[in-house]
């Protein structure tokens, strides 16, 4: 009789096998609590750090764009600045000095303020304008725009596209638009354009 072949283990049903396996596993492994993270409640949507960072970035971008729009000059000023940029190196006299003085509100003056570099009529945002680029020894180069017809420009100033700009009133109350790379040049030009008539260059 061969014990290896003649021995038949007792047959166990599925339910008995399950009970025995569970009993053995219970002895081999001690029961413990479930992982702590299973008991954690999910964070509210707005308490999640990723969403907070996204909202912060969105608010920052919105504030920056709003700041740009808040200091953005009127369309006429932007067009004048673009015009000045493309004619910055142009020199010459393309109109009578007396006519330009009249449009600048300096009818009593005999000469233009500063050392004129360019005098010419031009188109700014569909309006006929008179362009004067002149150099002030104590300020620098300034471009002045006077307009043939009334335009809606209030007295204000700002910085746009790497230049300073300012709207002032002529002696006759008409708006003059000043554009310069140096802010100091605007103050010197304003004094010359609004003061008593000049009698010579500078």
Residue ranges covered by each domain of the chain: 34-72, 75-194
Phi, psi dihedral angles at 151 (to 5 degrees): -130, 155
CA-based nearest residue to 176, from 167, 186, 164, 165: 167
pTM of the model: 0.66
For the record, the structure tokens of 158 come out as 């700002």
For residue 97, give Cα distances in angstroms to 18, 34, 141.
111, 93, 18
Q: Tell me the longest C-alpha to C-alpha distance in the chain.
A: 141
Q: What is the pLDDT along the chain (202 residues), one digit of tens a residue?
A: 555 555 566 655 566 767 777 777 767 656 566 666 666 666 666 666 776 777 777 777 665 444 444 489 999 999 999 999 999 999 999 999 999 999 999 999 999 999 999 999 999 999 999 999 999 999 999 999 999 999 999 999 999 999 999 999 999 999 999 999 999 999 999 999 998 654 555 4
């Amino acid at each position: 009789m061969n014990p290896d072949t003649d021995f038949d283990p007792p047959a166990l049903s599925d339910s008995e096998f399950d009970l025995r396996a569970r009993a053995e596993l219970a002895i081999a492994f001690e029961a413990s609590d479930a992982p702590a993270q299973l008991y954690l409640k999910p964070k509210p949507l707005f308490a999640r750090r990723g969403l907070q960072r996204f909202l912060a970035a969105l608010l920052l971008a919105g504030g920056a764009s709003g700041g740009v729009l808040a200091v953005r000059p009127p369309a006429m000023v932007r067009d004048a600045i673009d015009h000045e940029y493309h004619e910055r190196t142009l020199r010459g006299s393309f109109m009578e000095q007396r006519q330009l003085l009249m449009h600048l509100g300096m009818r009593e003056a005999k000469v233009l303020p500063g050392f004129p570099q360019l005098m010419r009529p031009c188109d700014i945002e569909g309006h006929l304008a008179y362009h004067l680029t002149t150099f002030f020894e104590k300020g620098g180069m300034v471009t002045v725009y006077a307009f043939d017809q009334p335009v809606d420009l209030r007295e204000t100033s700002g910085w746009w596209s790497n230049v300073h700009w300012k709207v002032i009133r002529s002696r006759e109350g008409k708006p003059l638009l000043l554009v310069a790379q140096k802010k100091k040049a605007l103050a010197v030009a304003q004094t010359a354009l609004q003061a008593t008539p000049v009698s010579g260059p500078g």
